[in-house]
A and B are shown apart, each in its own frame.
Chain A
Amino acid sequence: MEPFVTLTAPAVPLDIANIDTDQLLPARFLKKPRSAGYGNFLFHDERKPGFPLDDPAYAGARILVSDRNFGCGSSREGAVYALVDGGFRCVVAPSFGDIFAANAAKNGLLTVTLPEDVVASLRRQLQATPGATVTVDLPAQSLTGPDGRALSFAIDPFKKDCLVEGLDDVALTLRHRDAIDAFDRTDAERRPWVVPGRG
């Protein structure tokens, strides 16, 4: 996974709450292999005239600033593939679907959670000055909008480490193999009914 450290890029505002993963990646594309180019499927059915992602003023956007509950709904990781393959590295919103946010972190897509009024102000600035850039500094946990104000954001330290270092967490987990083996041995005695067919 590509590490995420700092990013300065144009940002595109999307004034829509509850953007679900069906909108990000319509279900009919779920059977496509990743090599099919998931970026082409991003917001496929929302691409109507006036949709900000198609506005040339926001060309080259790598940061998406949206509204509450971004990425709610289905657990499809393809929604993250569509954003990443479509060029995005960061989404800013007042809240995220939990599964989406977990999937994003596994694919080098940073989700930044900021208060609702702060995110609304960012969207207004981007609407007023289309093509303006936003800077994200993950180690410093800081985001700077078009108005030059540095905003600090919270992030889970584990998620931050994985993103900054581009870690594959299976490799990390396998360092705990002895603990997993020990858990399994103890649990087999404590709850023998867990494995079907042993009872």
Chain B
Amino acid sequence: MTAQPRSLFEKVWDAHIVATRPDGQALLAIDRHFLHEGSFHAFGMIDHAGRKVRRPELTFAVADHYVPSHSRSRPIADPEIANMVTMLEANAGRHGLRHFGLHDPAQGIVHVLAPEQGLTLPGLTIVCGDSHTSTHGAFGALAFGIGATEVSHVLATQTLWQRRPKTMRITVDGVLGPHVTAKDLILAVIAAIGADGAAGHVIEYAGSAIRALSMEGRLTVCNMSIEAGARAGMIAPDDIAFSWIEGRPFAPKGGMFDRAVEHWRTLPSDAGAVFDREVTLDAADIAPAVTWGTSPETAVPVTAAVPDPGAEADPVRAGQMRKMLDYMGLAPGMALEEVAIDRVFIGSCTNARLEDLRAAAAVLRGRRAVVPGLVVPGSVPVRMLAEAEGLHRVFIDAGLEWGEPGCSMCVGINGDLVPAGERCASTTNRNFPGRQGPNARTHLMSPAMAAAAAATGKLTDVRKLGVS
């Protein structure tokens, strides 16, 4: 008898079922649990109930959301922010968890740090109280964000009740054009299927354009799965993933690594695996993208114009477009390349890895930024590697600030805010109203596009700057 062909997701899901209920809910075993400063509600819940952390050896605490981007030698000025960082350390210490704190040489954004440290591995189930946990699916893990009550449940039981999600395969074949990056690819996907296009689904990204991406690019793609409403995003693990993992501090070593790779090679979707929904895109159709509105689904090629709500047949939808244009301070029909910006931010769990910083630096080398901007590497190791290559000099010489690792201006809760009314070219993942600060206007784009905007002071097609 031949076994039913299974997808990557189905193989990982099936291997983690501890129990099932007659109503179809499955109790899933969790292999990795990452915590950040926002976990204080969940610690409060288990402490209140007198429960312990079931598997401290699978639980890792990372300070990223509230850490300052200024020098670590200076104390955190705001006592409420400082308290968030010390509370995580205290909770981790009390429960015996490995804690990557403010001064740890591996510190960084949890979704940059965990892959870099070899904590993220193919075939694992990974959760974190952060929606961008989908990032880790780049290695073929099933990784998703959860809320505080579920965090407390995982702390106490190392499991989660879940209903099996539907599956969607997004196939992108062909070759991306010059200066068209993983960020442009995922923005094109979100624009194509909508901000809730993958709700209730786990996406598998497939096709030659996905296989050709570096690990950094794959992490960027899976990171923004949540912006299409997906439960998770996954990419089949391959030699690019295995060689990226080998030798990292927490990765399996020697014979154990070989044994793990042997297992990981069985994970990719079988030929004939069936998905609930199939979407295909042609890589050649994807252009450097920017968003014009307050949802990532408003991504369009930078060469496009601001859309006209008057051309929208549905009056509710037209009203929502007008509200977005009003918030963004844009007029219908305006060429996006004429939109002046006030600042740039290069960073976040989407685009703060070495490859991202290299792409931005390639544009800014020998140029001056005409607007202020902040560049925040994703982790201390990324920062050190970037400095070893002299990338920090490129940014500083261009007039940008070079910060210490953390979430920084993507969510603004460490104090790095876009001032009200200002327009920011940002490599982050969300352009929601108020996301980067009250009344801040965010345009999402790739690191190279943000660097191009810094150099010209407006939204710019990086292909026109003659960068090799």
- Interface pair A31/B256, CB less than 8 Å apart: no
- Interface pair B147/A198, CB less than 8 Å apart: no
| B466 close to A (CB within 8 Å) | no
A199 — which chain B residues lie within 8 A by C-beta?
Answer: 251-257, 260
Give the contacting residue for B433; candidates A45, A68, A72, A194; CB below 8 A. Answer: A45
A69 — which chain B residues lie within 8 A by C-beta?
Answer: 194-196, 199, 229
| A174 close to B (CB within 8 Å) | yes
Binary contact track A23-55/B, C-beta < 8 Å → 1, others 0: 100111011001000000000011000000000
Query: How far is the CB of B347 from the nearest CB of chain A, in Å?
Result: 16
- With the chains together, A28 CA to B31 CA distance in Å? 31
| B358 close to A (CB within 8 Å) | no
B66 — which chain A residues lie within 8 A by C-beta?
Answer: 31
A183 — which chain B residues lie within 8 A by C-beta?
Answer: 18, 29
B305 — which chain A residues lie within 8 A by C-beta?
Answer: none
| B106 close to A (CB within 8 Å) | no
B295 — which chain A residues lie within 8 A by C-beta?
Answer: 17-18
B49 — which chain A residues lie within 8 A by C-beta?
Answer: 170
Binary contact track A165-199/B, C-beta < 8 Å → 1, others 0: 00001100110100110011001000111111111
- Interface pair A75/B146, CB less than 8 Å apart: yes
| A106 close to B (CB within 8 Å) | yes
Query: How far is the CB of A166 from the nearest CB of chain B, in Å?
Result: 13
Number of residues from A at the complex interface, CB < 8 A: 59
- Interface pair B199/A22, CB less than 8 Å apart: no
- With the chains together, A74 CA to B317 CA distance in Å? 23
Among the 9-residue stretches A2-10, A83-91, A96-104, A143-151, the one with 4 or more Cβ atoms under 8 Å from chain B is A96-104
B294 — which chain A residues lie within 8 A by C-beta?
Answer: 18
Binary contact track A76-117/B, C-beta < 8 Å → 1, others 0: 111010000000000000011111001100110000000000
A46 — which chain B residues lie within 8 A by C-beta?
Answer: 433
B144 — which chain A residues lie within 8 A by C-beta?
Answer: 99
- Interface pair A173/B153, CB less than 8 Å apart: yes
- Interface pair B229/A72, CB less than 8 Å apart: yes
- Interface pair B259/A72, CB less than 8 Å apart: no
- Interface pair B250/A196, CB less than 8 Å apart: yes
Chosen A-B contacts, 22 in total, with CB atoms closer than 8 Å, are A18-B196, A20-B435, A22-B434, A30-B413, A31-B66, A69-B195, A72-B195, A72-B229, A74-B131, A77-B41, A77-B129, A98-B229, A106-B150, A156-B163, A161-B23, A170-B51, A173-B159, A174-B156, A179-B19, A180-B29, A180-B158, A194-B58
